[in-house]
């Protein structure tokens, strides 16, 4: 397992060791012990899965405290560009983001702590996005930021993604009061 730290504190990418043989392949997708060594100590209580057409963009989302969620995200079919925006008040990287290319062949995982807005764009047809969350879904706690807010300056690598109506009317960073 390879652990890669990112320039924003708390963000980690994990690339598991894949054991390939004549039958196919084997890998561990989660180990509380091994992941704790990489700094991921959250208890995950909900697993989610979404299937997206190529060009679908979901985000940027978070849940407000007390339902805030850390997320451990991965792709099990296809590819996705994953984005995490730092919304932690007082953070030296507030408003900045990191990206990670999630690839079903690499089976890499991306850890996003509480205090971030999260989103991704599916780069292949039928991209299966699977993730663990440290808190339960709570509709009333949902929040987000507009994916193409120029202040965020995110290069999604796509001009006209398919975005939900809910996500098209999310607020921009200017005037936004972070709940974190
Ligand atoms: C997120 C979520 C949605 N739902 C329902 C609500 C709605 O009817 C339907 C689709 O929800 P959404 O449109 O919000 O799904 P989606 O846009 O895929 O939302 C997800 O986006 C990514 C980027 C994240 O980071 C996730 O935390 C989550 O916010 O599924 C649940 O029942 N449980 C959940 O945990």
Check the CA dihedral 105-107-113-118 and report its sign: positive
Residue ranges of domains in the chain, CATH in brackets: 42-168 (2.60.120.10)
Name the 3-class secondary structure at 71. strand
Could you tell me the distance, in angstroms and rounded to a whole number, from the CA of residue 104 to the centre of ligand 1? 21
Q: Cα–Cα distance between 101 and 82 in angstroms, integer?
A: 6
- The candidate with the shortest Cα–Cα distance to 128, out of 164, 83, 76, 80, is 76
Give pLDDT, residue 167: 98
Q: Which residue has the higher pLDDT, 150 or 38?
A: 150
Calpha distance 157→141 (Å, rounded): 30
Tokens at residue 102, please? 């999630």
CA of 61 to the centre of ligand 1 (A): 9
Most informative mutation of 45, 48, 156 for ligand 1 (most atoms within 8 A of CB): 48
Q: What pLDDT digit, counting tens, does each position of 165-176 carry?
A: 999 999 999 999
Ligand 1, atom 7, lies closest to the CA of 139
Tens digit of each residue's pLDDT (9 = 90 or more) over 1-44: 899 999 999 999 999 999 999 999 999 999 999 899 989 999 99
Q: Which of ligand 1's atoms lies nearest the C-alpha of 50?
A: 18
Among candidate residues 45, 48, 71, the one with its CA nearest the CA of residue 128: 48
> Ligand 1: residues within 6 Å at CB?
48, 50, 58-59, 61, 118-120, 137, 164
Span 138-154, average pLDDT: 98
Distance from C-alpha of 1 to C-alpha of 33, rounded to nearest angstrom: 12
Decide if 93 contacts 87 (C-beta within 8 A): no
pLDDT range class, residue 60, cuts 50, 70, 90: very high
**Confidence band (pLDDT; 50, 70, 90) for 55?**
very high
Among the ranges given (33-37, 60-64, 97-101, 158-162), the one the predictor scored with the smallest mean pLDDT = 33-37
Q: For residues 10 and 16, give the distance between their C-alpha atoms in angstroms, rounded to a whole number.
A: 19
Q: What is the mean pLDDT of residues 48-68?
A: 98
**Of residues 66, 65, 60, 67, the one with CA closest to residue 133:** 67
- CB atoms near residue 177 (< 10 Å): 6
Q: Is 166 helix (H, G, I), strand (E, B) or coil?
A: helix
Nearest CA to ligand 1 atom 10: 50
Collapsed DSSP state (helix, strand, coil) of residue 16: coil
pLDDT at residue 79 greater than cutoff 90:
yes
Vertex 98, ends 92 and 99: CA angle to 5°?
A: 180
Cα gap 142→58, rounded to integer Å: 13
Each residue of 81-140: pLDDT tens digit? 999 999 999 999 999 999 999 999 999 999 999 999 999 999 999 999 999 999 999 999
Catalytic positions, please?
61, 131
């Amino acid at each position: 397992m390879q652990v890669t730290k990112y320039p924003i504190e708390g963000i980690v990418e994990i690339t598991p060791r894949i054991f390939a043989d004549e039958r196919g392949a084997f890998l561990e997708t989660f180990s509380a012990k091994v992941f704790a060594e990489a700094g991921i100590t959250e208890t995950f209580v909900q697993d989610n899965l979404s299937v997206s057409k190529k060009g679908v963009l979901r985000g940027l989302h978070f849940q407000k405290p007390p339902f805030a969620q850390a997320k451990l995200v991965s792709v099990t079919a296809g590819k996705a560009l994953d984005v995490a925006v730092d919304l932690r008040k007082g953070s030296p990287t507030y408003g900045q983001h990191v990206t990670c290319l999630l690839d079903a062949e690499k089976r890499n995982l991306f850890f996003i702590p509480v205090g971030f807005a999260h989103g991704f764009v599916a780069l292949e047809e039928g991209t299966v996005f699977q993730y663990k969350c440290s808190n339960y879904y709570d509709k009333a706690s949902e929040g987000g930021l507009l994916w193409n807010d120029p202040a965020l300056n995110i290069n999604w690598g796509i001009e006209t993604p398919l975005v939900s109506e809910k996500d098209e009317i999310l607020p921009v960073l200017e005037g936004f009061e972070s709940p974190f």
